[in-house]
């Protein structure tokens, strides 16, 4: 009874603290992700007041957080939108990979973390935060801007790239053979193709299977199917995250809209726990040594994302101001970067320093991204006016 009481007190304190941090974040106009990570660092291994009584619950809750994060991300897109976005953005998407995955891989190799560490850090620096980007675009009233479809198409390409990348990373982290890795990738591609075909041709039947007029039944079916698919995907080495993302794509229409409305509070709750757990498992004493590297990486990859958005928008005939806004909007990194680093660190196949670097990097980028999106227009106007004044 005493242990249960301590666990409930610790868990209650964590939830209440997250609520305070979330309120603070939105009041000052940044994503709450950096504050959640800092909260985890403060109360984890090597922190101010280590919490150990809530580990069994928070571990499973953080896994559910990843599933819900990716499920709701999939609900934002239909299969048709994914295919259209891929056709429009494939060249810009390849440029995105080259510019933004390479810095992370190079840094990992320079730090002696080997090929697996390089592949992990490549994913950490490559993927933009869809959640932060969507929030910023909505807050700034840019959802109807001409560059917004370009931004969304880049995010779609990145999400599809993750559907291929995560199974490869998972297989390598598990220490499977080269043949086993190829098998995992093959299974992943077959599953992805199958789900896209089902979503395009039979999406309404998937939606009908989950849909219900009773909110309680609907929520139970939705959560049950998400966890089932995530678990099966994980067994197939496709990754639970990708499985839930693909399920989200297969659900469409009013069912997807209702699912998003009902799941958003749960998603935010469990996702917050996921970021806290990542912080809990990261020793804060390891962050100062990697902070200079994180700063350099942040500056480089902020610039490469701006270039990505600029080039992608230019290809679609967007004006200069729109190109600048597109580039700045893509700067933020967040949930997916931590998911990738979390998978790697949990496997024990990479150095614990990688978690520290990923944490410091995401802390910087989750703050820098929204700030860059807000200041890009006045800065761009200032840059444009100066040459005109000199002339």
pLDDT at 8: 80
Average pLDDT over residues 153-180: 75
Domain-located, residue 7: no
Find the range with the poorest average confidence among 10-19, 71-80, 176-185, 283-292: 176-185
Q: Quick check: 291 pLDDT over 80? A: yes
Query: Which pair of tokens denotes residue 126?
Result: 């490559």
pLDDT at 277: 76
Rounded-to-integer distance, Cα 181 and Cα 173, Å: 10
Q: Would you place residue 297 in the very low, low, confident or very high pLDDT band (cuts 50, 70, 90)?
A: very high
Q: Quick check: 385 pLDDT over 70? A: no
Contact 350, 120 (CB under 8 A): yes
pLDDT at 282: 72
Q: Would you place residue 237 in the very low, low, confident or very high pLDDT band (cuts 50, 70, 90)?
A: low
Q: Would you place residue 389 in the very low, low, confident or very high pLDDT band (cuts 50, 70, 90)?
A: very low
Q: Is 214 or 348 the better-scoring residue by pLDDT?
A: 214
pLDDT at 239: 64
CATH number at residue 215: 1.20.1530.20
From the list 178, 168, 176, the residue with the least C-alpha distance to 340 is 168
Rounded-to-integer distance, Cα 246 and Cα 87, Å: 19
Q: Is 298 or 287 the better-scoring residue by pLDDT?
A: 298
Domain-located, residue 388: no
CA-based R_g, the chain, Å: 21
Rounded-to-integer distance, Cα 110 and Cα 386, Å: 40
pLDDT at 49: 64
Contact 95, 312 (CB under 8 A): yes
Domain-located, residue 345: yes
pLDDT at 174: 74
Q: Would you place residue 107 in the very low, low, confident or very high pLDDT band (cuts 50, 70, 90)?
A: very high
Domain-located, residue 39: no
Domain that holds residue 135: 55-281+289-375
Average pLDDT over residues 293-301: 95
Count CA atoms closer than 13 A to 99's CA, side-chain side.
25
Domain-located, residue 94: yes
Give tens-digit pLDDT for 298-317: 999 999 999 999 999 998 88
Domain-located, residue 48: no
Average pLDDT over residues 282-296: 86
pLDDT at 293: 94
- The proportion of the chain whose per-residue pLDDT surpasses 70, expressed as a percent, equals 84
**Integer angstrom CA distances of residue 28 from 21, 22, 25, 367, 374:** 11, 10, 5, 11, 13
Average pLDDT over residues 210-218: 88
Contact 71, 275 (CB under 8 A): no
Q: Is 238 or 120 the better-scoring residue by pLDDT?
A: 120
Give tens-digit pLDDT for 52-78: 666 677 777 777 877 887 787 778 766
Find the range with the poorest average confidence among 9-13, 248-252, 386-390: 386-390
Domain-located, residue 156: yes
pLDDT at 390: 45
Domain-located, residue 295: yes
Q: Would you place residue 45 in the very low, low, confident or very high pLDDT band (cuts 50, 70, 90)?
A: low
Average pLDDT over residues 157-172: 78
Identify the burial level of 5 via C-beta atoms within 10 angstroms of its C-beta, where 0-12 means exposed, 13-18 middle and 19 or more buried. exposed
pLDDT at 342: 80
pLDDT at 99: 95
Number of domains in the chain: 1
**Mean of the per-residue pLDDT values for the chain?**
80
Q: Quick check: 387 pLDDT over 60? A: no
Greatest mean pLDDT range, 94-103, 170-179, 279-288, 333-342: 94-103
3-state secondary structure the chain: CHHHHHHHHHHHHHHHHHHHHHHHHHHHCCCCHHHHHHHHHHHCCCCCCCCCCCHHHHHHHHHHHHHHHHHHHHHCCCHHHHHHHHHHHHHHHHHHHHHHHHHHHHHHHHCCCHHHHHHHHHHHHHCCCHHHHHHHHHHCCCCCCCCHHHHHHHHHHHHHHHHHHHHHHHHHHCCCCHHHHHHHHHHHHHHHHHHHHHHHHHHHHHHHHHCCCCHHHHHHHHHHHHHHHHHHHHHCCCCHHHHHHHHHHHCCHHHHHHHHHHHHHHHHHHHHHHHHHHHHCCCHHHHHHHHHHHHHHHHHHHHHHHHHHHHHHHHCCCCHHHHHHHHHHCCCCCHHHHHHHHHHHHHCCCCHHHHHHHHHHHHHHHHHHHHHHHHHHHHHHHHHHHHHHHC
């Amino acid at each position: 009874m005493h242990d249960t009481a301590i666990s409930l007190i610790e868990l209650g304190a964590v939830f209440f603290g997250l609520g305070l941090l979330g309120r603070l974040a939105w009041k000052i106009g940044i994503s709450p992700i950096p504050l959640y990570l800092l909260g985890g660092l403060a109360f984890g291994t090597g922190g101010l007041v280590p919490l150990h009584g809530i580990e069994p619950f928070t571990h499973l809750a953080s896994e559910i957080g990843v599933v819900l994060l990716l499920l709701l991300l999939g609900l934002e897109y239909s299969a048709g939108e994914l295919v259209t976005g891929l056709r429009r953005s494939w060249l810009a998407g390849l440029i995105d990979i080259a510019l933004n995955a390479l810095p992370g891989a190079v840094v990992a190799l320079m730090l002696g973390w080997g090929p697996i560490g390089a592949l992990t850090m490549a994913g950490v620096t490559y993927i933009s935060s869809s959640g932060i980007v969507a929030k910023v675009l909505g807050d700034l009233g840019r959802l109807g801007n001409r560059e917004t479809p370009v931004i969304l198409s880049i995010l779609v390409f990145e999400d599809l790239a993750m559907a291929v990348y995560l199974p490869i990373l998972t297989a390598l982290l598990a220490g499977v053979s080269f043949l086993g890795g190829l098998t995992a990738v093959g299974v992943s591609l077959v599953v992805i193709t199958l789900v896209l075909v089902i979503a395009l041709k039979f999406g309404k039947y998937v939606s009908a299977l989950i849909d219900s007029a009773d909110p309680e039944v609907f929520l139970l079916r939705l959560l049950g199917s998400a966890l089932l698919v995530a678990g099966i995907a994980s067994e197939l080495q496709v990754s639970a995250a990708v499985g839930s993302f693909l399920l989200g794509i297969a659900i469409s229409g009013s069912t997807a809209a209702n699912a998003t409305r009902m799941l958003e509070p749960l998603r935010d709750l469990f996702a917050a726990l996921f970021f806290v757990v990542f912080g809990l498992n990261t020793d804060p004493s390891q962050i100062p040594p990697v902070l200079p590297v994180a700063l350099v990486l942040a500056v480089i990859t902020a610039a490469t994302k701006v270039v990505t958005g600029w080039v992608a928008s230019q290809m679609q005939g967007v004006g200069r101001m729109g190109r600048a806004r597109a580039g700045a909007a893509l700067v933020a990194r967040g949930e997916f970067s931590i998911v990738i680093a979390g998978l790697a660190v949990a496997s024990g196949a990479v150095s614990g320093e990688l978690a520290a670097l990923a944490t410091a990097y995401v802390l910087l980028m989750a703050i820098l991204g929204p700030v860059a999106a807000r200041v890009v227009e006045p800065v761009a106007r200032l840059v444009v006016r100066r040459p005109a004044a000199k002339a």
